Amino acid sequence: MKLFFDSRQAAHAPAREFHNGGWTPYAETPDRTAQIVAAIGNVTAAQDHGLAPIAAVHDGQYLTFLQEAWAAWEAAGREGDAIGYTFPVVHRRRLDLTRIDARLGAFSMDASTPITADSWDAAYWGAQSALSAVDAVADGARTSFALCRPPGHHAGADYLGGYCFLNNAAIAARHAAARGLGPVAVLDVDYHHGNGTQDIFLRDDSVFFASIHADPRTDYPFYWGHADERGEGAGAGTTLNLPLPRGTDWAAYRPALDTALAAIAEWGAKMLVVSFGADTYIDDPISGFALQTADFTTMGRRIADAGLPCAIVMEGGYAVDALGVNVAAFLAGFTD
């Protein structure tokens, strides 16, 4: 199985984030990619597909903002990483905003996703890795893996958050459909709900989105991922949320996975994009499930047994010392 990655993805390295009422070291560190590459090896360079497949998912003004934000922050004479501090929670008007603080708030869902000088390049090449993984499947591979960093599933069409800037899974799904691999389903098995992916496809009946995640009544992102969210308009019935309580182990997780895979099969998917987060691991510092390393292999095998061509995109996982082993264990389920 090929691992697609570009070294520019590791350059994004904010110093800190605002979390639970205070400053804390940034959890989504470049060491994450180093651990995964060391455990898996055989890195294949991502191919540059340009901006068009990204623009097929993300709003043009948002993409312009991401490319210009750091320069605007520097021009304003600011120090440290760029982070918003005011957010349009009542309604989000399309305004001609000039001050960088206003633009940061307009295109952000939280204050834990700083922008640095290298954020755009890292996110861009993360998306290119996801696109390259889809190409590998289109060219005949049964499964491929994109080491996407920064992760993507919290990013909406026009907002960043949750360490995410570009929604790699959504970009991959759109590209897979364009390559004739559809109908496409996205299966999100990160600890946190993929709110950005849900938002992007909420009214779209061409992509099925299923997510198994921590109950948003107790965990980030709180405002999305409840079981009664099933899609809207033309997309009604194409969203499936399976929230689980803190402390969930494999015995409790497995039935939810079976439910998600059965729904994907019933919907008629021909291609699967997996948003894989290893933050369901028992020792993850910012999560609360209880999966063991061996459970990731079982999970991967169960998904592989669904029989669909699969592009896997990396999402979360913050127990850095165990991350490479856990990712390798998951991928082993597709190859053993």
In a structure prediction context, what are the per-residue pLDDT tens digits for the chain, which is 336 residues long? 889 999 999 999 999 998 888 999 999 999 999 999 999 988 999 999 999 999 999 999 999 999 999 999 999 999 999 999 888 876 666 677 789 999 999 999 999 999 999 999 999 999 999 999 999 999 999 999 999 999 999 999 999 999 999 999 999 999 999 999 999 999 999 999 999 999 999 999 999 999 999 999 999 999 999 999 999 999 999 999 999 999 999 999 999 999 999 999 999 999 999 999 999 999 999 999 999 999 999 999 999 999 999 999 999 999 999 999 999 999 999 986
pLDDT of the residue at 86: 86
Peptide bond into 150 cis (omega under 30): yes
Residues with active-site annotation: 154
- Name every residue whose Cβ is closer than 8 Å to that of residue 105 and which is 6 or more positions away in sequence: 84, 85, 86, 87, 88
Q: What is the CA radius of gyration of the chain?
A: 18
Determine the residue type at 209: F
pLDDT of the residue at 91: 65
Say what the pTM is: 0.97
The backbone torsions φ and ψ at residue 100, rounded to the nearest 5 degrees and listed phi first, read -60, -35
pLDDT of the residue at 98: 86
* Secondary structure of residue 68 in the 3-state scheme: helix
The sheet that has 184-188: what strands, in order across it?
43-45, 3-5, 143-146, 310-314, 271-276, 184-188, 207-214, 239-244
pLDDT of the residue at 94: 65
- Contact, 210 vs 258, CB < 8 A? no
Q: Within a 10 A sphere around the Cβ of 273, how many other Cβ atoms?
A: 34
Give the helix, strand, coil percentages of the chain, each rounded to 5: 40, 15, 45
Residue closest to 164 by CA, chosen among 140, 193, 135, 133: 193
Determine the residue type at 18: F
Q: Token pair 């390259």 is at which residue?
A: 132
Write the CA distances from 262 to 200, 237, 303, integer angstroms: 23, 14, 11
The partner residues of 22 in beta bridges, in order of sequence, read: 19
pLDDT of the residue at 253: 98
Supply the DSSP string of 141-170, one letter for each residue.
-SEEEE--SS--TT-BTTBBBTTBSS-HHH
Q: Token pair 């920064």 is at which residue?
A: 150
* Secondary structure of residue 318 in the 3-state scheme: coil
Domains of the chain, first to last: 3-58+117-335 (3.40.800.20)
Q: Within a 10 A sphere around the Cβ of 258, how many other Cβ atoms?
A: 12
The partner residues of 145 in beta bridges, in order of sequence, read: 3, 312
The backbone torsions φ and ψ at residue 3, rounded to the nearest 5 degrees and listed phi first, read -110, 115
